[in-house]
Structures are given as structure tokens and as C-alpha cells.
Structure 1
């Protein structure tokens, strides 16, 4: 006899107190923020929540003939940065997937190239951004290359480890059935490696997102990172805080979308 699974009602019952706890935590942080701002009484150091909210409204509208910040609305600054992140992350993820598969399947290439990937992963973005500017100028190209280089190593490392650790019995069984090397990689190795690969993709997008401020240090307006850097020069702390909130909240939304995509594309993750 068919019996309806209680999983969904149970998950909903668990979600309600979780939402309440998070709401209380946010309100407590806002209260602490307000208390610290009032105690210091220095808007250039810590602006009050209301000052940040008022600045958010100004950055999102045209007021007294001033349109947003430097002629662009907040959503426009964010849109430019998201486009850069999307393109840079796509290039980095694609390159990381190809490199990771090669590193995981060709031992001598892994021996030669793995230290290089680790070396690049250890470099902070600003360390090589100056070199990219010398090579490509100050327009979009060095920004995209910076984000791509920042996103490539996590995907390459995760893919290489997952591919190298593919179940040996499945690989041998596929070979025994006459599968070619390409089909073994395509039909056995990659599906088993997808969960780890997707973890690398999420890390790569997060690293690219955190690098956007570095990417937009030069000629980055419009752009949310460029807006933050420009406001910092003029001690506009409320603008900086608005920009940081915009980056953080949009980053949470993007990671949430990646989680949903992961559940749909890899439904077998976590199941035996």
C-alpha cells in the first residue's frame, strides 16, 4: 500500500524555527550595529544602519539631479560586475574542467603541472593584476583574465582529485566491456566525479566574486567593486557598506542558485 512520505512536512516544520532563529540573529546584529554606531558617534568610521539605508535609496534613484553614484544606479553597478564575474568564471571553470581531467588521467602531466596550479592558487589576485594591466591595458580584458585565473585552480584541483579517485572497479568493468578511453572518461569517470567537480565550481565562483573588488581597482566604474574602491578614497563609508552588502547578498543568491542546480543535476549526491 502506498504511503505518503512525511519528509516534506517534516522539512517544513524544521524550516520554520530555523527561519525564526536567523531573523532574531539578524535583528540582534542590527541592534549591536546601531549601539556601536551611537557609542562611537563617527559616521566616517561606522555609519548607523539608517544612514546606510538612506544612502541605499540615494544610490538606487535620481535625487537632486544626481543619478546613483558616478552617473550609474546601484543595480547598474552590480549588473556590470555580475557580467564580469559571469564571463570570467565561465572561462575559468571551462579551463579548470579541461585541465583537471587531463591532470587526473595523465600521470606525467599531473607531475609537471600540479605544482604550477598550486602556485597560481596561492597567489592573491592583486599580485598578478598589475602584470595583466601591463599586458592588456586598463579596459575589460585584464579584469576578465583576473577573474578567470582566480576561478581556474579550484575547479582544476577538485576535478583532478575526483577524476583520479574514480572507482577502479567501475573503470575496469567498462574497459572489460570494450569501452574506449574516451567513453570510460565520459560515461564512468566524469559522472562519478561530478559531485566534487560541482563543489570546485562553487568555490571558483565564490573566489571570482571575492576578487571583483581587486579586478575593478583600475577603471572599474561602473562596477560594484569600483564603486566601493572609489568611495573608500573619499571616506564615504556608507557607500562602502552599501556596496559590501550588495556584493554579499548577491553572492548568497548566486550560491543558492548553484545549490539548486547541484540538486537537480546531481540527484545521486549523498546517496549510496
Structure 2
């Protein structure tokens, strides 16, 4: 009786056969940090501005140096300009833009959602919005002054009209881009219409809405300055207009810088809100 010895092949996994973890990389510049590039660009632009002004390529009357603009900022902050302090000019402009933005958001988002959900609402509201939306706000500014006077009401109404359309249309676009699978899944689980609106429709449309708000704020700042140029005695636009009449180019640059800083702060606030409310944007 012979012994039978069974041998089996022993498979040894080499390091090359081990599974590897692969990290997925994003496409485009959306996931990359561009802070260093932006700061370097700002430094280059300021250095170019200083060099051009210092070499006299453009007369100093039309292009002051950065040092002169900074000096003028301190002077305007200390002594005021055009019959008001710098704080009064800035607060007047901020009050107008904030009030108009609050009204445009409060009215534009519900109407935009309604237009995206109901064809009757879209059919009724789409025509007047598409009619006045391409018009520059300065085209109907005289009409606002004739109807509402030269007080704050005409300026705020003009800003509301300028900011309402992008917010409303972005809310409508957010609803129309909603995947129908989410709605059907919620309906199959017994979701009621108001639950669908609050839990499915609004969160899905929120990225588009916040983008529309950012666009509307940019349009609002441009419209605000134009309105203050024509009919106002306070505000950043009025300060710029008064300075331009006396060829005070450094004060004009001060006003432009204040507008840019305020607009950047508003945009940064919306970006922060976007990162808090819709952290999934761009990661799906």
C-alpha cells in the first residue's frame, strides 16, 4: 500500500498584483486653489500701474500713482468730500443696494420657483420679464424719476428691477434642471407637494439661485452708481461724479476702489453662503 502525497500549487501574490487605490481627479479649474495666482496678478497690475504713472506715459492728471490714491483715501476719510463724510457716502450706497437686494430676493426666488413649476405662471410672467430684462437700467431711469421723483424710492425701485430678473430666471433654471428621478423617488415614498418643494426642489435649485444672486449684485452695483450720477446728493457714485467735474482723478480712483471693495465683499459673502448651503456643488 503506497502513500499518496498530494501537492498543491502555492500562489504567491507579488506587490504588482496587489490592488491599488486610485484617487479620482477633477476636470477643469473648479477644484484648484487659485489664491496665489490671483494675488500675484494683483501685484503685477499694481506694479504696472505704478510704473506707467511714474514714467509719465500717461499724464499725472489722468493717471495718479497708487501712493497719491492712498493719500487721497486718507484725506477723504478725514475731511469728507462733496458735502458729506466718506461714511455717509458709503452708507447711503450700501443702504440702497441692500434694500433693493432684499426685495429682489424676496420676490424673485418665489416667482422663479413658481415659473419653473407651473406653466401658467411661466406663460404670464415670462413675457414682461423678457421684455424689460435686455434693456439697460439707464433707459428707464428717467421714467422712474418722472413717476417716483428723485428720492430714494426711484433709486431702490430701479435697483430692484435691475436685480429681479437674474434672480428670478436663475431660480426658474434651477427648477428646470432638477432630475425627475429625485421627484419620482420622493413621490413613491409618499412625499407631499410642500415636502417636495422644501426637500427636493429648493435644495436642487439653490446653486443656480446663488449664482443668480451673485450676478444680480454685480448688475446692482453698476446700476446704483449710474443712478447716483444722475439724481443724488449722497453716495459713492455722486462722489465720483463730483470729483470728475473738477478733474480730481485721484478721488475718482478712490470711489472706484471703494465700489470694488464693497462688490468683492458682497460676492465673498455669497460664496461663503454657497459653500455652507450647497457644499456638494461641483462634486457630483
Q: What TM-score, normalized by structure 2, do the two folds share?
A: 0.81
| 1:26 equivalent in alignment to 2:42 | yes
Distance across 2 between alignment mates of 1:176 and 1:73: 61
CA contact (8 A) 1:138 1:218 kept: no
Cα distance in 1 for residues equivalent to 2:47 and 2:282: 39
Alignment partner of 1:47 is 2:58 = no
**Greater share of residues in helix:** 1
Gaps of 5+ in 2: 1-31
Runs ≥4 residues deviating over 6 A: none
Instruction: Give me the CA root mean square deviation.
Output: 2.0
In 2, Cα distance between equivalents of 1:46 and 1:119: 40
Q: Distance in 2 between matches of 1:148 and 1:50?
A: 37
Count of equivalent residues: 252
The answer as to 2:181 corresponding to 1:169 is: yes
Query: Where does residue 93 of structure 1 map in the other structure?
Result: 105
> Hey, what does 1:222 align to over in structure 2?
234
The answer to whether structure 1 residue 242 and structure 2 residue 265 are counterparts is: no
Deviation, 1:218, is 3.3
* Equivalent in 44, 55, 58 of residue 75 of structure 2: 58
Q: Which moved more, 1:41-50 or 1:235-244?
A: 41-50
1:205 Cα offset (Å): 1.5
Q: CA deviation at 1:53?
A: 1.8
Residue correspondence of structure 1 range 69-84 to structure 2 within 5 A = 69-84=81-96
1:151 alignment counterpart: 163
Task: Extract unaligned runs of 5+ from structure 1.
Answer: 1-13, 63-67
Q: Does the residue aligned with 1:83 lie in a helix, a strand or coil?
A: helix
1:251 is aligned to 2:263: yes
> Per-residue CA shift, 1:84-129, capped at 9, x if unaligned?
1100111112211021011101113313322322232211111111
Q: CA deviation at 1:161?
A: 1.0
Q: Does 1:200 align with 2:212?
A: yes
Measured in 2, the distance between the counterparts of 1:263 and 1:186 equals 19
Contact kept, 8 Å, 1:77 with 1:227, in 2: the verdict is yes
